[in-house]
Amino acid sequence: MAKITVKPFQKVLIANRGEIALRVIRTLKEMGIKSVAIYSEADRNSLHVRMADESVCIGAAPSSLSYLNIDAVVTAAKITGADAVHPGYGFLSENADFADAVSKAGITFIGPTAKSISMLGVKSTAREIAIKGGVAITPGSDGVVGKDYKQVARKIGYPIMIKAALGGGGKGMRACFEEKDLDLMMKTAQGEAKANFGDDRVYFEKLVLNPRHIEVQVAADNYGNAVAFAERDCSMQRRHQKLVEESPSPFVTPQVRQKLQEAAVKLVKAAHYHGVGTVEFLMAPNKEFYFMEVNTRLQVEHPVTEEVCGQDLVKLQIEIAQGMPLSITQKEASVVRAHVVEHRINAEDSDKNFTPCPGTIEEWIPSGGLGVRVDSHMYTGYTIPSYYDSLIAKLIVTAPNREELLKRSERALGEFKIAGVKTTIPFHQKILKNEDFAAGNMDTGLIERMLAAEKNDKSEK
């Protein structure tokens, strides 16, 4: 093992907002590390600003003028004397230029190197790393597609999935079932990729029908050690956006779990990765799985894994960034202590095509009790700005088994009281009542089928 050099942090700037910024601040407090919050003019009254030891306004409300402004964020870290920057998720968390700028300023970036982000951030390159690491991938194009994209699609065979080479969150993705639709789907995917990531390059993958979205949380230190935790099943999605995540998956056997973990560790080691990240897979109905992508950051749904394994993943990130070797073994990481689900509560009207509903919270009474955790930056009187993501809370429920978990989730959703804005709580209650979900028979198309059936019922009435 290489010589261990530990550099404890005295102060960390969180390059994010809202719920995840507050989440990081709480761990920093427990570790005795000072925190610095950044905020836009629209977030002046956000809870993460109140909870931090220091705070700096970095710009106007639009994220392009504040949270995405690399120079402003790095300057804030410099003037406050921060030793390190935690990127959270979203915004600049997977931006290699940001990681590089932080490092060049003599500040530690709590995450992988800019080189790792670049390699794994381009999904076509990540596929090449997976192949070298011996991890199965879906058939697809060898890197980004060019002018011969029609011939490439024919070689793969329809249906195919067109994917943006950069980015994530379901942006720049289109399914194409026949060649006659390929030109339009290409134009749409490329336009969306350009608008969201500044890069219109795309690549192709064979479309796996009725798949599950299974992901594996990993952690790797600077000394060649890596561990993988029990999988999260993130199949409950709408338009490639996750709504419900759970662990362990009701579909994955212990034998398949071990294979998933081994594949995830192989991949991060092949990429010389360090930090916390997530390896995402598509799983076919026959339980064969294929590498999809790596998220080189903390996931929104990381609390699911924390509750399953009993580890603070933010603390683990910080320890790795300080130069400490992993404090957990693979045997410990593989322990499944409970069954856990996360319901993403968004300020959206699910009866009106999930239209965002910014506004003022008139009443805020979060759920509580045994096995219930709420991660949120909301409070009574807080005004949700219209400039950012509509996520307002994560309801994380833990129980000894899935049957008890669903009952506890129903109770927790029922007692979560939010007034002043529409939320997706009623839709999550519908999910719990869905027979397929209750039986654990999910795939990435289940929510869309639920919505279609609901629409048909309304039209018949």
Has residue 4 been placed in a domain?
A: no
Q: State the Cα angle at 50 between 46 and 55, rounded to 5°.
A: 95
Could you tell me if 408 and 319 lie in one domain?
yes
**Token representation of residue 398:** 């833990």
Q: Is residue 117 part of a domain?
A: no
Q: Tokens standing for 281?
A: 């897979």
Residues 253, 153 share a domain? no
Per-residue pLDDT band at 382 (split at 50, 70, 90): very high
Residues 193, 275 within the same domain: no
- Lowest pLDDT segment from 142-151, 162-171, 336-345, 442-451: 162-171
Name the residue with higher pLDDT: 2 or 136.
136
Residue 3, in any domain of the structure: no
Q: Same structural domain for residues 231 and 374?
A: yes
Q: Is residue 122 part of a domain?
A: no
Catalytic annotation present for 337:
no
Give the H or E element holding residue 216: strand 212-220
CATH number at 161 reads 3.30.1490.20
- Over 80: is that where the pLDDT of 167 sits? no
- Reduce the DSSP state of residue 389 to 3 states and report it: coil
Q: Let me know whether 220 and 359 are in one domain.
A: yes
* Predicted confidence (pLDDT) at residue 143 exceeds the cutoff of 90: no
- 410 assigned to some structural domain: yes
Q: How many CB atoms lie within 10 A of CB 65?
A: 15
Predicted local distance difference test score (pLDDT) of residue 191 = 94
Instruction: Please report whether residue 390 resides in a domain.
Output: yes
Instruction: Supply the DSSP string of 325-384, one letter for each residue.
Output: PPSS-HHHHT---SEEEEEEEESEEGGGTTEE--EE-SEEE---STTEEEEE---TTPEE
Percent of the chain with pLDDT over 70: 99
Cα separation of 397 and 149, whole Å?
Answer: 45
Domain shared by 305 and 216, yes or no: yes
Read off the CATH number of the domain in which 27 is found.
Answer: 3.40.50.20
What average pLDDT does the segment 270-296 reach?
A: 94
- Mean local confidence (pLDDT), 190-194: 92
CB 354, CB 403: distance < 8 Å: no
Strands 54-59 and 34-40, bridge-based pairing: parallel
pLDDT digits (tens, 9 = 90+) for 49-80: 999 999 999 999 999 999 999 999 999 999 99
Mean pLDDT (whole number) for 432-451: 96
Average pLDDT over residues 383-407: 97
Cβ count within 10 A of residue 459: 7
H/E run at residue 390: none
Residue written as token pair 């804030």: 76
Q: How far apart are CA 379 and CA 71, in angstroms?
A: 31
Q: Does one domain contain both 33 and 164? A: no
Last residue of a domain, one of 161, 183, 206: 206
Q: Is residue 359 part of a domain?
A: yes
Q: Are residues 312 and 398 in the same domain?
A: yes
Which residue spans within 23-135 are E strands per DSSP?
Answer: 34-40, 54-59, 84-86, 108-109
Q: How many residues does the chain have?
A: 461
Look at residue 210 and tell me whether its pLDDT is greater than 90. Answer: no
- Work out how many domains the chain is built from and give that number: 3
> Does the predicted TM-score (pTM) go above 0.85?
yes
Residues 163 and 220 in one domain: no
Q: Which of 297, 344, 373, 408 is catalytic?
A: 297
Mean pLDDT of the region 393-397: 98
pLDDT for res 183: 96
Q: What is the pLDDT of residue 2?
A: 65
Q: What is the reported pLDDT for 170?
A: 75
pLDDT at 186 over 70: yes
| Domain housing 178 | 139-206
Partnered with residue 237 across adjacent β-strands are: 242
What confidence tens digit (pLDDT) does each residue in 397-418 have? 999 999 999 999 999 999 999 9
pLDDT at res. 231:
98
Token reading at 43: 């977030």
Looking at 206, 229, 247, the residue that finishes a domain is 206
pLDDT computed for residue 169 by the predictor: 66
Confidence of residue 166 (pLDDT cuts 50, 70, 90): confident
What tens digit of pLDDT does each residue of 3-57 get? 888 999 999 999 999 999 999 999 999 999 999 999 999 999 999 999 999 999 9
pLDDT-derived band of residue 196, with 50, 70 and 90 as boundaries?
confident
**Domain-embedded: residue 134:** no
Helix%, strand%, coil% for the chain, nearest 5: 35, 25, 40
Q: What is the pLDDT of residues 355-381, one digit of tens each?
A: 999 999 999 999 999 999 999 999 999
pLDDT at residue 331 greater than cutoff 70: yes
Q: Are residues 188 and 296 in the same domain?
A: no
pLDDT above 90 (res 458)? no
348: tokens are 């959206």
- Using pLDDT thresholds of 50, 70 and 90, give the confidence band for residue 198: confident
Q: Give the residue from 176, 206, 236 where a domain finishes.
A: 206
- For the chain, the first-to-last Cα distance in angstroms comes to 69
Mean pLDDT of the chain: 95
pLDDT at 23 (0 to 100): 98
With beta carbons less than 8 A apart as the criterion, state whether 197 and 171 touch: yes
Cα–Cα separations (whole angstroms), residue 246 to 95, 268, 305: 28, 23, 9
One domain, residues 176 and 263: no
Question: Same structural domain for residues 234 and 306?
Answer: yes
Check which CATH number belongs to the domain holding 276 and give it: 3.30.470.20
**For residue 159, is the peptide bond before it cis, meaning its omega torsion is within 30 degrees of 0?**
yes
